Amino acid sequence: MIFPTMSAGPDLPHFDLHRGLWRAEIHDPRPNPVILGARYVQGGYVHRLWRGERCLTGMASPRWNPFDGAGTPETFETDLGAAHTDEGDTYLRIGAGRIINQGGSRRHLYLPDLPVHWQLVDRGDDWLTMRCNDAILRQGGMFGYQLERTVRLHDDGLESLTTLMLTCPWNHPVSWFPHPFFAQNAADETAYLLPTSASLTGQLSRSDDGLARLTPGKWAGASGQAHAVWGHRGNIDCHLSPAHGGGVMRMEISWPWDHVVVWASRFASSVEPQLGRIWPRREQASWSIRYRWIEQGERRKAEVGS
């Protein structure tokens, strides 16, 4: 499979949200959803986030492709119904479409064989809501979902809200995470304030300032994980690349963490607090993540614990 590549992004129209200093460019997947691939949720996919004249987000690689992505996408890592398909059957990538079981693991490395249809429910100048649903009958059981995404700008950043309902014969595992790409020029330029109790592995370690950074490998990229944070509820302060203007973006996370993955290339860095749970059948639940710009005075108060 050869991915379509281009320097700026997929050939799709986008919705522009505006509020104060903030602007978000959000893909409209409806004309050609296949081009967005099957890794990320297509509705509410923020391709770029701007604060004034500065674009805070970047791309994972110099040329956009649907697997690497850009902006602040989100993904359901768990495929729905895949364990109950025979070769030639389709299973569901939540928010992206259907994938054919070809006797091996295709997962999100490939484009959807049949994309899901997204609806624009409503929108304003600084927000929009999109919705999709899909279902398949496999081995006598119905596997389906309803997914709604709302993206909203605030005076200090962006909020992303997800609402999901699953229809399954029994409870089903679900794994989801945000995958923001903060712009940088080297793998160790972006740093993160993680819980002091976290155990850091891979190429992730703490500097003398208490921030977690990745140490780049031979290929100029890096990855690591933060463990011993299961059930933690809190925020992650992202200290952005000084080469791109610095500043702190706080990720306000509404769900209890499973673990945290940190990843970086020479072009972007990502921190991914994982939501992992066994989902009761026919349960509807919502969660949110807010990217909030932290002013210097507020940062100092947080550092001294006041």
Q: What is the CATH classification number for the domain harbouring 114?
A: 2.70.98.10
Cα-based distances in Å from 33 to 94, 101, 175, 212: 13, 20, 22, 36
Question: pLDDT of 51-84, one tens digit each?
Answer: 999 999 999 988 888 999 999 999 999 888 888 8
Asked, for residue 1, whether it belongs to a domain, the answer is: no
Residue 9 lies inside a defined structural domain of this protein: no
Give pLDDT, residue 306: 33
Report pLDDT for 138: 85
pTM to 2 decimals? 0.92
Residues 206-222, mean pLDDT to the nearest whole number: 89
In a domain, 8, yes or no: no
Euclidean distance between CA atoms 299 and 153, whole angstroms: 21
User: Has residue 285 been placed in a domain?
Assistant: yes
State whether the Cα torsion 178-182-187-191 is positive or negative.
negative
* Within a domain: 244: yes
Q: Within a domain: residue 5? A: no
Owning domain of residue 198: 14-304
Is the residue at 38 inside a domain? yes
Average pLDDT of 199-217?
94
The verdict on residue 19 lying in a domain is yes
What is the enclosing helix (H) or strand (E) of 297? helix 296-304
Q: How many domains does the chain have?
A: 1
Cβ 195 vs Cβ 223: under 8 Å: no
Residue 50's pLDDT band (cuts 50, 70, 90) = very high
